[in-house]
């Protein structure tokens, strides 16, 4: 039975903890129409809210991944304000994908250019067929990327290579994406699906809470200064001990404070009584 999120332009499947999105506009190389983008946003929200989905695979139908925004719709974008509105909408879509507490895998064959490449950069893993081609050709359309082609890319491969990819607009082989650490693996044509399944099988052996924590602290830490990032590491280490059963701290509340608030018991009054007016000055007077 088709999933409720499936549309003519996209299929969505759930197989236990594994979900799969397949972009399905093969006659348009799976270009992202506004309608398809809206479906993707709804699907990412569904996956975000699911407590059973643990891994998400994104692929394209018809031998191609995605060639990005459907440029044939651009004449209907009205004006610069609408273009900025759509750009922020797509940025939010990519951010939602990147922020999922699931492990995401882009399975790439054929073309992954423009917005299609931007989707892969928001995923945790990218596995591609050797014949796949990628790039940012926006420069030759007279436009610039809007949701990752300059920002995420520069964080992944650096400023100089990001300029090369964007300013020239060439289409590169999958192996170069692996060499640049933009993608993880390039596999022989015909082995893409089996390689993705092998990756899922390995991930399935892991402590899933550990995977969620690692994804969170890596994503957050790379955007922070060293000491802030180390704070995330330390908190994650503490949480790891807690979820593994070693959660009790001698002078922690163990839920007593919450119960005190609900019951308004002796502990609540013992804490709130001294605190309510402590160092609270009368209106119009200065602290002594």
Active-site hit among 73, 99, 118, 233: 118
Backbone angles phi, psi at 251, to 5 degrees: -100, 20
Instruction: Compute the half-sphere exposure of residue 181: CA atoms within 13 Å on the CB side of its CA.
Output: 7
Within 10 angstroms of residue 264's Cβ, the number of other Cβ atoms is 10
Catalytic residue status for 138: yes
- Nearest Cα residue to 126 out of 174, 161, 159: 174
Using only the alpha carbons of the chain, give its radius of gyration.
24
Q: Which of 109, 138, 248, 282 is catalytic?
A: 138
Q: 121, 160 in Cβ contact below 8 A?
A: no
Rounded to whole angstroms, the Cα distance separating 60 from 39 reads 14
Query: What gap in Å lies between CA 245 and CA 266, rounded to an integer?
Result: 29
Is 118 catalytic? The answer is yes
**Whether the Cβ atoms of residue 104 and residue 56 lie closer than 8 Å to each other:** yes
Residues with a known catalytic role: 118, 138
């Amino acid at each position: 039975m088709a999933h409720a999120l499936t549309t003519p332009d996209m299929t969505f499947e759930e197989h236990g903890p594994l979900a799969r999105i397949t972009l399905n506009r093969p006659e348009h190389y799976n270009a992202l129409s506004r309608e398809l983008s809206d479906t993707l946003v709804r699907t990412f929200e569904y996956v975000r809210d699911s407590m059973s989905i643990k891994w998400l695979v994104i692929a394209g139908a018809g031998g191609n991944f995605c060639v990005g925004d459907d440029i044939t719709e651009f004449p209907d974008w009205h004006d610069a304000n609408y273009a900025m509105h759509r750009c922020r909408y797509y940025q939010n879509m990519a951010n939602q994908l990147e922020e999922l507490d699931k492990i995401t895998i882009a399975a790439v064959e054929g073309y992954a250019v423009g917005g299609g490449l931007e989707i892969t950069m928001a995923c945790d893993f990218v596995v591609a067929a050797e014949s796949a081609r990628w790039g940012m050709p926006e420069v030759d359309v007279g436009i610039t990327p809007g949701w990752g082609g300059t920002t995420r890319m520069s964080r992944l491969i650096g400023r100089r290579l990001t300029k090369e990819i964007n300013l020239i607009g060439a289409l590169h082989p999958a192996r170069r994406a692996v060499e640049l650490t933009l993608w993880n693996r390039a596999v022989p044509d015909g082995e893409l699906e089996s390689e993705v399944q092998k990756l899922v099988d390995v991930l399935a052996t892991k402590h899933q809470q550990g995977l969620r924590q690692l994804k969170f602290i890596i994503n957050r830490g790379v955007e922070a200064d060293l000491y802030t990032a180390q704070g995330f590491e330390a908190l994650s280490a503490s949480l790891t001990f807690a979820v593994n059963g070693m959660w009790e701290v001698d002078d922690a509340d163990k839920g007593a404070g919450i119960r005190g608030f609900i019951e308004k018991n002796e502990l609540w009054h013992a804490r709130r009584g001294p605190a309510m007016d402590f160092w609270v000055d009368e209106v119009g007077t200065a602290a002594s």
